[in-house]
Amino acid sequence: MKVDKYIGQSGYTSRRKACDLIEEKRVTVNGKIANFSTKISVGDKVAIDGEWITAKAVKPIYIAYHKPKGIICTTEKIEGNIIEAIAHPEKIYPVGRLDKDSEGLILLTNHGALNDRITNPKFEHEKEYQVTLNMPLRKKFIDEVEAGIEIHGEKTLPCTITPVAGTKRLFRIILKQGLNRQIRRMCNAYDYQVLKLVRLRVMHIELGDLKASEWRNLTKEELEPLLKILEA
């Protein structure tokens, strides 16, 4: 296997972070600086900053977490990071991101391939949110945002907006992409302020009645479709 995958399986850090370490020339194999094409064979010695590491068998972990407002989706050791908030006994990583001011469903796993398969926009997986605005929802906003608008030089993909019955300022939106702070930026383009933003669903996995700061393991029924996507 390639050295970045080996490091990821060691539990030392994520495979993505391993690539950063390789680029920074902090990884050696048998005493020589590794590159991205370096492959590991039985008996090879891999070190990071001179510290030997060993790949281990990793039991896959897949959890759903209700991220509260104020928690940051990062593995960096800074105040309010999602890893310390969850305090899972095993090393896991967030699948994608949910900005600090937003709340709701986010998946976490130690399965690196799954992360890319879900978050890569080319696969157009659905994510559903409920949004509370500071002013009543207007038809112009719905029609134009559903068709796609330009925000900061990027064109948004078509999406689906559904006003919440019995309200004037709440709506649900289904996206198939994940530009940085996309919903907030789309709303700001029409002079709206987002008062509350909650992610309700990622693909077929729903937030349901999971309370803020709680997490749970994915069920067999939730997990099987995800693994089939990977196989495909």
pLDDT in tens, 36-79: 899 887 778 899 999 888 766 668 899 999 999 999 999 888 99
20 counts as catalytic:
no
> How is domain 126-202 classified at the architecture level of CATH?
2-Layer Sandwich (3.30)
Mean pLDDT of 81-103: 92
Q: Which of 37-46, 81-90, 140-149 has the highest mean pLDDT?
A: 140-149
The pTM is what? 0.76
Query: Cα–Cα distance between 232 and 227 in angstroms, integer?
Result: 9
**Class for domain 62-121+205-231, per CATH?**
alpha beta
Which is higher by pLDDT, 14 or 72?
72
Q: Which of 116-120, 127-131, 150-154, 177-181 has the highest mean pLDDT?
A: 127-131
> Distances from the Cα of 34 to the Cαs of 19, 51, 142, 159, in angstroms?
10, 14, 51, 44
What per-residue confidence (pLDDT) applies to 27?
Answer: 93
**Out of 99, 116, 191, 209, which one is annotated catalytic?**
99
C-alpha closest to that of 125 among 191, 164, 176, 189: 176
- pLDDT of 16 strictly over 90: no
Specify whether the CB–CB gap between 73 and 82 falls below 8 A: yes
Which is higher by pLDDT, 210 or 115?
210
Mean pLDDT of 176-194: 94
Of 3.40.50.1220, 3.40.50.300, 1.20.1250.20, 3.10.290.10, the CATH number of 3-53 is 3.10.290.10
